[in-house]
Amino acid sequence: MSPTRLRTLLAVGVVCAAAAWLAVRATFVNLPPLPWTTVPALLLLAVGETSIARNLAGRLRGGGSKPPAPMAVARLAALAKASSVAAAVFGGLAVGFGSYVADELGKAVPRHDAIAALVTLAAAVVLAAAALYLERCCQAPDPPDADGADRSWQPPGSR
């Protein structure tokens, strides 16, 4: 499985932004105000994935605890890939919605929707970063060199 590429996530976000802009353009008068409920959900997922990544990185380095099962690491990598794509989708939808209502910020409802879209976009970026960090932590450490020197993998940020 290859690492998730940033340009793939950006492409997903752009397509979702365009689709959201078109959908909002056609139905804005019939839509309820944009809810805030996605923000805590995205942030809770980001916190969970970050804590799992930190724990996993320590266990893969051999930090005194039992190493994780290979299948568990593969499942966490799949979770990270899915979360990063979901974050790109939610971020793209928020950009599309926010860009449509940005022209009417003088009115109360579009201003509320624009703020909600901006906060949702920020939460989606945080989730994408956490998912990419978890995916990076799921990489197997390098095996020892032929000369016996152990050049073990280190988690991002500890180099």
Tens digit of each residue's pLDDT (9 = 90 or more) over 109-151: 778 889 999 999 999 999 999 999 999 999 876 666 655 555 5
Query: Domain boundaries in the chain?
Result: 6-61+68-137
Q: What is the pLDDT of residues 81-99, one digit of tens each?
A: 999 999 999 999 999 999 9
Q: What is the mean pLDDT of residues 65-92?
A: 93
Residue 12 CA to residue 81 CA, distance in Å, equals 13
Find the largest Cα–Cα distance for the chain. Answer: 70
Distances (CA, A) of 68 to 48, 137, 144: 17, 12, 19
